[in-house]
Amino acid sequence: APAKAKKIPSRGNNVELTSDGEVEEGSWEMEEEEDGSSDEMVDDYGASSSEEEELLPIEKAALKQKSDRGGLSEDDSEEDEEEEEAVEEASKQKMGQKEEESTDLQLNLDIDEQFKLPTNEQIEREDILFICDIHKLYACSSPPDLHIIHQRIKGNMEVLQDFVVKREEGRTRQEYLAVLRRDMAAYYSYSDFLLTKLMDIFPLPELINFLEANEVPRPVTIRTNTLKTRRRDLAQALINRGVNLDPLGKWSKTGLVIYDSSVPIGATPEYLAGHYMLQGASSLLPVMALAPQENERILDMCCAPGGKTSYIAQLMKNTGMILANDSNAERLRSVVGNLHRLGVTNAVVSNCDGRQFPKVCSYLLWGVLGGFDRVLLDAPCSGTGVISKDPAVKTNKDEKDILRCAHLQKELILSAIDSVNAASETGGYIVYCTCSIMVEENEWVVDYALKKRNVRLVATGLDFGKEGFTRFKDRRFHPSLKSTRRFYPHTHNMDGFFIAKFKKFSNAIPQAQKEPAVEAATPSTDPGTITEPQPKKKKLEGSKADKEQKPPQTALKKRHLLQAQRRPLKA
């Protein structure tokens, strides 16, 4: 008698495949009569074409496998059972992995919900692992987990933003800040000193953006040399060579930003012909603030490697005179090479210490030139604004380096102011800039210059950038420091920079007011001593000050000429 097959579950859900692609047994149940055989059943199924048309392809495959298993031996059935057990174990392992993932997600949710400071033992253990990782001591079991540190930074930031609600009982804000500073120093590889300085300058959310921006290089930018070509022609020539570029921005008429290039951007025929200069976007801003005019006398006190000097010559259209000075003779080689390549013909290169420039070059400065119309001072600094170019700044700077740079910058800015002629018809301007973001090297130096010389701050002429600090911690600066400009990598996508512009309104150097006060206080300390009457002293001092403070300009020129004539005779 023919065998009859009966399908117990519904047709849509009756077939279950294992991970190996096999159909599980038991999905089909066959009802056979007592005298039936498996061969007849296969023949009947093979003969019933109408039923095969109704079955899905996967069901047909299941029927074939079922028919093949009907003629297997007992050994094969045992192997099938083992395979089924292996499949079940694999499914259990998958379920276990899913459960572990769910528990991990739950732990992350718990961390996000409530952040807890690490214990002292955890901090000490992480410090040991961090030291081992720095010095490559492989005896340690494992390096510190940066993912955990990053999660802790995020949680700590959330608590500090809403400290009253989310803080842990018995914990102060200083403890949270100490852990945050330590975690950021470990995650971003900064020294504790520099990170403390940065935390004083930036709010915490902005500080994270600044640290992240320093891990990414700034885009490559070039400046078109309009002495030889136009920006449109240069862009088309570079595009034809496979360079992907765009205009730098609305604020620059000569800048181009390079995204990628199939040729070396510093070795193209256009570069060798002097059609452009590789120059950072932030280096264009001081020259734009200086705004040199044609036929003026300009001093670039720290000119190497010559990018700003060539830009000044470009704006002056090779008229007037530029004195390009630098104290490092080796760096002047690149200045001379760039000036020749770019076609600059109105520049004179000198090797002199900028601090002694007004004294050493007094005859040239006042006897021949009559003072400069404008001075650009790109002072040496700590380089905290160009960390993306020099990551060593993260760890090799300390308090002594910052103060040493600040002292040098104060000397240079006074020398730059003394080199400018306040009576210039078109000029009398000084631009001071650094590639640092430290307040000690920027606002402190500018405030010092305002007290020591007859200058005032004026607008830089730049439409963007953040205002300088008028107060920092316990210090208060002149209110006019709002006209200075700060540029950051995370806000303007350029190197960190500071720019201040001065206007000199008098060539006289103000005298210190401390000496008369000291002399007036000496009689009260020693009442028994007999001194001259005070009014006579005041009259003498006042007459001397009146003569020394405001000498006529012709007298200054005669004095410098006489000094220049006497020097060779003494030698």
Q: What is the CATH number of the domain that holds 240?
A: 3.30.70.1170
The 10s digit of each residue's pLDDT in 135-146 is 444 444 455 677
In which domain, by residue range, is 480 found?
Answer: 281-504
Q: What confidence tier does 29 reach under pLDDT thresholds 50, 70, 90? A: very low
Amino acid at 180: L
Consult the annotation and say whether 353 binds a ligand: yes
Residues 252 and 302 in one domain: no
Residue 205 has pLDDT above 70, yes or no: yes
d(CA 363, CA 291): 27
Give the model's confidence band at 397: pLDDT under 50 very low, under 70 low, under 90 confident, else very high.
very high
Other C-beta atoms closer than 10 Å to the C-beta of 323 total 24
The verdict on 484 and 339 lying in the same domain is: yes
> Is 352 a catalytic site residue?
no
| 308 labelled ligand-binding | yes
Residue closest to 209 by CA, chosen among 13, 488, 456: 488
The angle formed by the CA atoms of residues 445, 550 and 541, to the nearest 5 degrees, is: 95
Q: Is residue 415 part of a domain?
A: yes
Same-domain pairing of 261 and 364 = no
Q: How does residue 566 score in pLDDT terms, banded at 50, 70 and 90?
A: low
- Residue 287 CB burial class (10 angstroms; 0-12, 13-18, ≥19): buried
Mark whether 252 and 327 lie in a shared domain: no
Residue at 531 is within a domain: no
CATH number reported for the structural domain that contains residue 330 in this entry: 3.40.50.150
Assess if residue 417 is contained within a domain.
Answer: yes
381, 405, 433, 435: which one is catalytic? 435
Q: Decide if 433 contacts 563 (C-beta within 8 A).
A: no
Q: What's the number of CA atoms in the CB half-sphere (13 Å) around residue 151?
A: 15
Strand partners, 455: 504
- 479 in a labelled binding site: no
Taking alpha carbons only, the member of 24, 23, 41 closest to residue 32 is 41
pLDDT at residue 42 above 50? no
Does 318 reside within a domain? yes
**Whether the predicted pLDDT of 110 surpasses 50:** no
Provide the 3-class DSSP secondary structure of residue 119: coil
- Could you tell me if 334 and 438 lie in one domain? yes
Identity of the residue numbered 350:
S
Q: Do the domain assignments include residue 286? A: yes
322 within a domain of the structure (yes/no): yes
Residue 303 assigned as binding residue: yes
Rg (CA), the chain: 40
Boundary (domain end) residue, out of 504, 524, 546: 504
Last residue of one domain, picked from the residues 279, 308, 323: 279
Q: Are residues 322 and 448 in the same domain?
A: yes
Instruction: Give how many domains the chain has, as a whole number.
Output: 3
Characterize 465-481 residue by residue with b for buried, 16 or more Cβ atoms within 10 angstroms of its Cβ, and e for exposed: beebbbebeeeebeebb
**Residues 258 and 219: beta-carbon distance below 8 Å:** yes
For residue 46, list its beta bridge partners: none
Indicate if 149 and 286 belong to the same structural domain: no
Last residue of a domain, one of 257, 279, 301: 279
Q: Give ∠ CA 507-403-504 in degrees, rounded to 5.
A: 15
- Residue 331 placed within a domain: yes
The 10s digit of each residue's pLDDT in 498-545 is 999 999 999 888 886 544 433 333 344 343 433 444 444 444 444 444
Burial label for 190, CB within 10 Å (0-12, 13-18, 19+), is buried
**Is 495 labelled a binding residue?**
no
Residues 255 and 173 in one domain: no
Mean residue pLDDT of the chain comes to 77
pLDDT at 113: 55
Same domain? 182 vs 231: no
Instruction: Between 312 and 534, name the one with better pLDDT.
Output: 312
Q: Tell me the pLDDT band of 368, cut-offs 50, 70 and 90.
A: low
The bridge status of strand 276-278 relative to strand 347-350 is: unpaired
| pLDDT at site 562 | 56
More confidently predicted of 5 and 229: 229
Domain contains 357? yes
Pairing of strands 321-325, 297-300: parallel
Give the residues across from 245 on adjacent strands: 258
Q: What is the pLDDT of residue 60?
A: 72
Q: What is the pLDDT of residues 406-423, one digit of tens each?
A: 999 999 999 999 999 998
Residues 350 and 477 in one domain: yes
| Residue-level pLDDT at 518 | 36
- What's the CA gap between 449 and 437, in Å, rounded? 18
- Peptide bond before residue 9 is cis, with ω within 30 degrees of 0: no
pLDDT at 362 over 70: no
| Res 14 pLDDT > 80 | no
Each residue's pLDDT tens digit, 84-101: 666 666 666 666 665 555
Q: 452 and 478 in one domain?
A: yes
Element (H, E) at 434: strand 429-434
Query: Is residue 449 located within the same domain as residue 479?
Result: yes
